[in-house]
């Protein structure tokens, strides 16, 4: 299932700049509308280690009103949770009506991490699939909207990112070890994930597998997925997403985007502050150089497109 | 289902006192075993108002270690609870390992009161049976012992008790309008109860119907049931035998 995915889809920088503000505007509007119409939203972010879930999360919440959402991270599990049936900790964190909750790591930890690490016996994780399916069905029946994203990268890419993280002083040692452990045990994890998709990809909780090799592509893709389903649910008239897969001829952000300084009469500092997430290792290596010489950057953009 | 119950069952006073004493004595070490073996217990008491739920709870908790149990009286949901799924507030109240939770009214309110009062749509209470079964199955998988009791009285007795309570002006639990509501909707309510007893009755978490026209009989039946099933589940039965022996003895005495 996972090996049939084209992992090399990407979005050019110019396109990204052009499309993102529009997506952000629509996502923000959708959030306000879900609040007023009392629709609870759950977003699950699952994926391989080093799939850059953190960065994706950062970009996802940027346009959202901070009062309207919560992020529940499943990285830390309190020891009290073992004293209760396993789904309890997720039940207690469910959003109220009109609220958004983003689960960074979710109830699928049970059938992926805890299965592969052999924390629980096979009998227990085997029956967890049924618990999960019924749980999600209950939520869907009750009016919850559930997005399940899986960020997929392949084994070589993960290995490459592992070495990249080794050089990065910002990455914690714990995270590096996690990546390496998963890298060593990749096939086991793969079979765990494949079984997840086979057993829990339901009518009421479909999986969205996202090709996560290129950061910009992932961000544009999940923003689009969320916006379209939300607008559909809110019965807003269908408006197609801005195209980003086919690069246009007149792809010059300098021309198409209105300058902030022109509109508001203030100094435009957005270019300096907003740094684009690096799309690949090579690009990051050259990023420093690109910053210095602006002309070089635009010319390389044109080459890409 | 409820029509076939013999509500005339009762116990005389001496018998009741002896049995209650014995079973309460038997229950106390069993509850300690719950704590030691790290199991958890959920006791659900549903029934007509005035059927004697709180007096039963009083008898259950009288002799047991106060650290080990919690009693929850379930009222209509507040605003925060209303803005979540109806099972959400019960997930919060689940007992942890080694604890006992006693629910006076419970999640079955969804398929009883909410259904009868039309607080939810038909779709909602129809799917609630499945959701409740799934919920209880998860508890059983985790190792929780679930005991569910329906305390049944007949319509005439219900009316008598409501009227009797109405006269006790100083009682903390005065009759409110909602109790008479249940009385007026007796037939619809009975239908809801019958369906609940049929559709949420798996082997691992089955209902016990308690004939409660005689309070003494219903109290003994519930405590006896709890003692027996706990000793079976926890494989700890030295004291229960004594209690059963005594019951036989008192029967023999009566025969003489």
Output the pLDDT for position B224: 92
| Inter-helix orientation angle B13-36/B238-255, to 10° | 170
Q: Per the domain annotation, does A180 fall within a domain?
A: yes
Measure the CA–CA gap between B178 and B109, rounded to whole angstroms: 14
Output the pLDDT for position A167: 87
pLDDT (average), residues B242-255: 60
Output the pLDDT for position A4: 73
> Which residues in chain A have their CB less than 8 angstroms from residue B131's CB?
134, 138, 141
pLDDT (average), residues A28-35: 93
Q: Which of A83, A134, A142 sits opposite B96 (nearest CB)?
A: A83
Mean pLDDT for chain A overall: 82
Contact A156, A164 (CB under 8 A): no
Residue B41, Ramachandran bin (φ over 0: left; ψ between -120 and 50: alpha; else beta)? beta
Contact A104, A58 (CB under 8 A): no
Phi, psi of B86 (to 5 degrees): -65, -20
Q: Per the domain annotation, does A88 fall within a domain?
A: yes
Output the pLDDT for position A255: 43
Measure the CA–CA gap between B118 and B126, rounded to whole angstroms: 12
Q: What is the pLDDT of residues A33-59, one digit of tens each?
A: 999 999 999 999 999 999 888 899 999
pLDDT (average), residues B71-83: 92
User: What's the pLDDT band for A262 if we cut at 50, 70, 90?
Assistant: very low
Q: Does B1 score more than 90 pLDDT?
A: no
Q: What is the pLDDT of residues B106-131, one digit of tens each?
A: 999 999 999 999 999 999 999 999 99
Q: Which regions of A175-236 does DSSP assign to beta strands (E)?
A: 207-211
Q: Do B94 and A85 touch (CB under 8 A)?
A: yes
Whole-angstrom CA distances from B143 to A110, A262, A283, B29, B149 are 18, 67, 54, 19, 19
Number of domain units in chain B: 1
Q: Per the domain annotation, does A265 fall within a domain?
A: no
Q: What is the pLDDT of residues B158-200, one digit of tens each?
A: 999 888 887 776 665 666 667 788 888 999 999 999 999 999 9
Q: pTM of whole model > 0.90?
A: no
Q: Which of A82, A96, A124 sits opposite B80 (nearest CB)?
A: A96
Mean pLDDT for chain B overall: 88
> Which residues in chain B have their CB less than 8 angstroms from residue A85's CB?
94, 138-139, 141-142, 144
Handedness of CA B222, B43, B131, A128 (dihedral sign): negative
Write the DSSP symbol of residue A101.
Answer: E
Q: Does A259 score more than 50 pLDDT?
A: no
Residues in chain B: 256
Half-sphere exposure of A13 (CA within 13 A, CB side): 20
Q: What is the pLDDT of residues A91-142, one digit of tens each?
A: 999 999 999 999 998 999 999 999 999 999 999 999 999 999 999 999 999 9
Contact B97, B39 (CB under 8 A): yes
Residue A92 at interface with chain B, using a CB cutoff of 8 Å: yes
What is the domain extent for residue A225? Answer: 2-233
Best mutation target, B34, B77, B83, to test chain A (most A CBs within 10 A): B83
User: What's the pLDDT band for A261 if we cut at 50, 70, 90?
Assistant: very low
Q: Does B99 score more than 90 pLDDT?
A: yes
Write the DSSP symbol of residue A40.
Answer: -
DSSP 3-state of B178: helix
Q: Which of A38, A84, A127 sits opposite B141 (nearest CB)?
A: A127
Output the pLDDT for position A271: 47
Output the pLDDT for position A278: 54
Query: What is the CATH classification number for the domain harbouring A121?
Result: 3.40.50.300
Q: Does B45 score more than 70 pLDDT?
A: yes
User: In this structure, which long-range contacts are made by residues A188-191, counting pairs with CB atoms below 8 Å and at least 24 apart in sequence?
Assistant: A188/A116, A189/A48, A189/A112, A189/A116, A190/A2
Output the pLDDT for position A132: 95
Q: Tokens standing for A105? A: 């790591």
Q: Per the domain annotation, does A305 fall within a domain?
A: no
Number of domain units in chain A: 1
Q: Per the domain annotation, does A55 fall within a domain?
A: yes
Q: Do B84 and A139 touch (CB under 8 A)?
A: no
Would you state the torsion angle of the CA atoms of residues A5, A6, A7, A9, taken in this order, to the nearest 10 degrees? -140
Weakest-pLDDT range from A29-43, A78-92, B138-152: A78-92
**What's the N-to-C CA distance of chain B in angstroms?**
36
Q: Per the domain annotation, does A251 fall within a domain?
A: no
Percent of chain A having pLDDT more than 90?
Answer: 53
Query: What is the CATH classification number for the domain harbouring B173?
Result: 3.40.50.300
Q: Per the domain annotation, does A29 fall within a domain?
A: yes
Contact A148, A207 (CB under 8 A): yes
User: What's the pLDDT band for A230 if we cut at 50, 70, 90?
Assistant: very high
Measure the CA–CA gap between A255 and A273, rounded to whole angstroms: 20
Q: Per the domain annotation, does A294 fall within a domain?
A: no
What is the domain extent for residue B201? Answer: 2-255
Helix/strand number for chain A, H first, E second: 14, 5
Largest pairwise CA distance in chain B: 62
Q: Does A258 score more than 80 pLDDT?
A: no
Residue A127 at interface with chain B, using a CB cutoff of 8 Å: yes
């Amino acid at each position: 299932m996972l090996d049939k995915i084209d992992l090399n889809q990407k979005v050019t920088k110019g396109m990204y700049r052009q499309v993102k503000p529009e997506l952000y505007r629509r996502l923000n509007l959708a959030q306000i509308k879900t609040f007023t119409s009392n629709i609870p939203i759950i977003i699950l972010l699952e994926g391989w280690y080093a799939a850059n879930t953190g960065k994706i999360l950062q970009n996802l919440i940027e346009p959202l009103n901070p009062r309207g959402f919560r992020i529940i991270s499943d990285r830390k599990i309190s020891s009290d949770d073992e004293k209760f049936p396993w789904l309890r900790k997720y039940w207690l964190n469910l959003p109220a009506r009109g609220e958004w909750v983003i689960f960074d790591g979710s109830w699928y930890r049970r059938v992926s991490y805890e299965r592969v690490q052999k924390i629980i016996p096979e009998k227990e994780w085997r029956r967890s699939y049924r618990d999960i399916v019924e749980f999600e069905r209950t939520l869907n029946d009750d009016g919850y909207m559930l997005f399940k994203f899986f960020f997929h990268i392949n084994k070589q890419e993960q290995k490459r990112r592992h070495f990249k993280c080794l050089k990065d002083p910002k990455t914690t040692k714990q995270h590096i070890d996690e990546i390496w452990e998963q890298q060593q045990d990749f096939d086991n994890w793969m079979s765990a994930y494949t079984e997840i998709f086979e057993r829990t990809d339901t009518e009421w909780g479909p999986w969205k597998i996202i090709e996560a090799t290129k950061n910009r592509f992932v961000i544009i893709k999940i923003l689009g997925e969320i916006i379209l389903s939300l607008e559909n649910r809110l019965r807003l008239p269908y408006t197609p997403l801005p195209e980003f897969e086919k690069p246009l001829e007149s792809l010059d952000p300098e021309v198409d985007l209105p300058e902030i300084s022109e509109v508001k009469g203030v100094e435009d500092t957005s270019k300096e502050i907003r740094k684009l997430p690096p799309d690949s290792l090579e690009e990051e290596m050259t990023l420093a150089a690109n910053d210095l010489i602006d002309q070089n950057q635009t010319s390389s953009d044109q080459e890409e497109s | 289902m409820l029509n076939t119950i013999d509500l005339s069952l009762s116990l005389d006073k001496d018998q009741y006192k002896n049995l209650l004493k014995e079973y309460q004595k038997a229950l106390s070490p069993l509850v300690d075993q719950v704590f030691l073996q790290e199991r958890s217990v959920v006791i659900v008491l549903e029934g007509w108002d005035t059927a004697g739920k709180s007096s039963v709870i009083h008898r259950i908790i009288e002799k047991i270690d106060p650290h080990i149990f919690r009693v929850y009286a379930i009222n209509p949901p507040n605003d925060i609870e209303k803005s979540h799924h109806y099972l959400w507030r019960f997930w919060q109240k689940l007992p942890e390992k080694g604890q006992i939770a006693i629910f006076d009214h419970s999640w079955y309110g969804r398929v009883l009161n909410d259904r009868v009062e039309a607080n939810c749509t038909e779709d909602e209470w129809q799917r609630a049976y499945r959701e409740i079964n799934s919920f209880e199955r998860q508890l059983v998988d985790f190792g929780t012992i679930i005991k569910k009791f329906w305390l049944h009285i007949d319509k005439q007795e219900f009316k008598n008790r409501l009227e009797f309570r109405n006269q006790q002006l100083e009682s903390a639990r005065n009759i409110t309008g909602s109790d008479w509501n249940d009385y007026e909707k007796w037939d619809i309510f009975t239908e809801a109860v019958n369906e609940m007893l049929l559709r949420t009755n798996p082997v691992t978490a089955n209902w016990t119907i308690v004939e409660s026209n005689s309070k003494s009989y219903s109290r003994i039946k519930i405590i006896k049931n709890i003692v027996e099933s706990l000793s079976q589940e926890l494989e700890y039965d030295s004291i229960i035998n004594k209690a059963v022996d005594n019951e036989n003895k008192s029967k023999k005495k009566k025969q003489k």
